[in-house]
Amino acid sequence: MTYENDYEDEGAPELDLEMLREDMIGELQAINQYQEHIDTIEDEEVAEVLAHIRDEEKEHLVELTKLIQKLDPLQAEMFKKEGL
């Protein structure tokens, strides 16, 4: 995906937030895919490695959420209101 073409009319803060949210989608998709593989793979060692990778993706999701909260005060307030 080339962001300079897809987002050239947007300002920097909005662009940053949109890219971060797209990154979150990617992390969630990766988490789901790893979990599906873990659930179907019979080799325990392979499943353990995939579980470790899945957990790293969850850490990435938390990091992205923190960045979004930093850049979007309204989103931060909504998270705070929900106790997140």
Between 23 and 1, whose confidence is greater? Answer: 23
Give the CA distances from residue 35 to residues 23, 39, 56, in Å, rounded to whole numbers and listed in that order. 18, 6, 12
Residue 10 DSSP symbol:
S
Tens digit of each residue's pLDDT (9 = 90 or more) over 6-15: 545 556 688 9
* Predicted local confidence at residue 5, as pLDDT: 46
